[in-house]
Amino acid sequence: MRFAYSSLSVAILSSFSSLSFAELIQEPEPTSLSPSLKLSTIVVEAKEENALGKTVYNQEDLKKSPNSSKNITDFLKVNPNVQLGHRFRSSLQQGELNAADISINGGLAYDNKILINGLSINNTINPVGAQQSNHPNQLMGNSQAAAINTDLLCKLTVLDSNVGVEYGEFTGGVVSAETCAPQTEIGKIHGSLSYDYTSDVWSKVNFPSQDSRDAFEDSSDESAQPYFTKQGISLNSYGRLSEQWGFNAFASYRHSAIPLKTDFAESGQFEQQRQARNAGVELFYDPSERTSFKLGASFLENDGLYFKSNIRDSESTQHSNSQNLYFNLNNQLDSVLLTQQLNYQRQQAGRQAAQNHYSWLNSSSKTGARTNIALKVIWAP
* 81-91 per-position pLDDT tens digit: 898 877 776 78
pLDDT for position 371: 40
261 or 362, greater pLDDT? 261
Q: Look at residue 42 and tell me if it is in a domain.
A: no
pLDDT for position 293: 94
Q: Look at residue 210 and tell me if it is in a domain.
A: yes
Tell me which residue of 145, 144, 158 sits closest to 61, measured CA to CA: 158
Edge-to-edge strands, sheet with 229-240: 189-199, 229-240, 245-261, 269-285, 291-306, 316-332, 337-352
What value does the mean pLDDT take over residues 23-34?
52
- Number of domains the chain contains: 1
Name residues whose C-beta falls within 8 Å of residue 109's C-beta, 6 or more positions apart in sequence: 85, 101, 102, 103, 127, 142, 143, 172
pLDDT for position 375: 43
Over the stretch 156-194, which tens digit does the pLDDT of each residue have?
A: 999 988 887 778 778 889 999 999 888 888 888 888 899
57 or 267, greater pLDDT? 57
Rounded Cα gap, residues 284 and 273, in angstroms: 37
Span of 40-44, 48-52, 55-59, 90-94 with lowest mean pLDDT = 48-52
Over the stretch 58-82, which tens digit does the pLDDT of each residue have?
A: 999 998 888 888 889 889 988 988 9
Residue 18 has pLDDT above 50, yes or no: no
Residue 204 has pLDDT above 90, yes or no: no
Q: Look at residue 41 and tell me if it is in a domain.
A: no
Q: Look at residue 1 and tell me if it is in a domain.
A: no
pLDDT for position 272: 94
245-261/269-285 β-pairing = antiparallel
What value does the mean pLDDT take over residues 191-206?
91
pLDDT for position 5: 52
Residue 17 has pLDDT above 70, yes or no: no
Tell me which residue of 300, 347, 253, 274 sits closest to 148, measured CA to CA: 300
Tell me which residue of 88, 209, 77, 105 sits closest to 161, measured CA to CA: 105
Rounded Cα gap, residues 155 and 57, in angstroms: 6
Rounded Cα gap, residues 178 and 238, in angstroms: 14
Residue 235 has pLDDT above 70, yes or no: yes
Domain that holds residue 60: 54-378
Q: Look at residue 12 and tell me if it is in a domain.
A: no
Q: Look at residue 18 and tell me if it is in a domain.
A: no
Rounded Cα gap, residues 117 and 153, in angstroms: 10
pLDDT for position 49: 63
pLDDT tier, 30 (very low <50, low <70, confident <90, very high otherwise): low
Identify any residues that bridge with 307 across adjacent strands, giving them in sequence order. none
pLDDT for position 31: 55
pLDDT for position 25: 47
pLDDT for position 269: 86
Q: Look at residue 17 and tell me if it is in a domain.
A: no
What value does the mean pLDDT take over residues 206-224?
90
Rounded Cα gap, residues 148 and 55, in angstroms: 19
Mean pLDDT of the chain: 82
Over the stretch 125-165, which tens digit does the pLDDT of each residue have?
A: 888 877 777 776 677 888 888 889 999 999 999 998 888 77
pLDDT for position 109: 86
What value does the mean pLDDT take over residues 307-317?
84
pLDDT for position 24: 43
266 or 327, greater pLDDT? 327
Residue 361 has pLDDT above 90, yes or no: no
What value does the mean pLDDT take over residues 340-350?
92
pLDDT for position 341: 93
Q: Look at residue 31 and tell me if it is in a domain.
A: no
Name residues whose C-beta falls within 8 Å of residue 239's C-beta, 6 or more positions apart in sequence: 182, 184, 187, 188, 189, 190, 246, 247
Domain with 182 in it: what CATH number?
2.170.130.10
| Residue 312 burial class via C-beta count within 10 angstroms: exposed 0-12, middle 13-18, buried 19 and up | middle
269-285/153-159 β-pairing = unpaired
Is 263 within 8 Å of 309 (Cβ atoms)? yes
pLDDT for position 44: 72
Residue 12 has pLDDT above 60, yes or no: no
pLDDT for position 358: 72
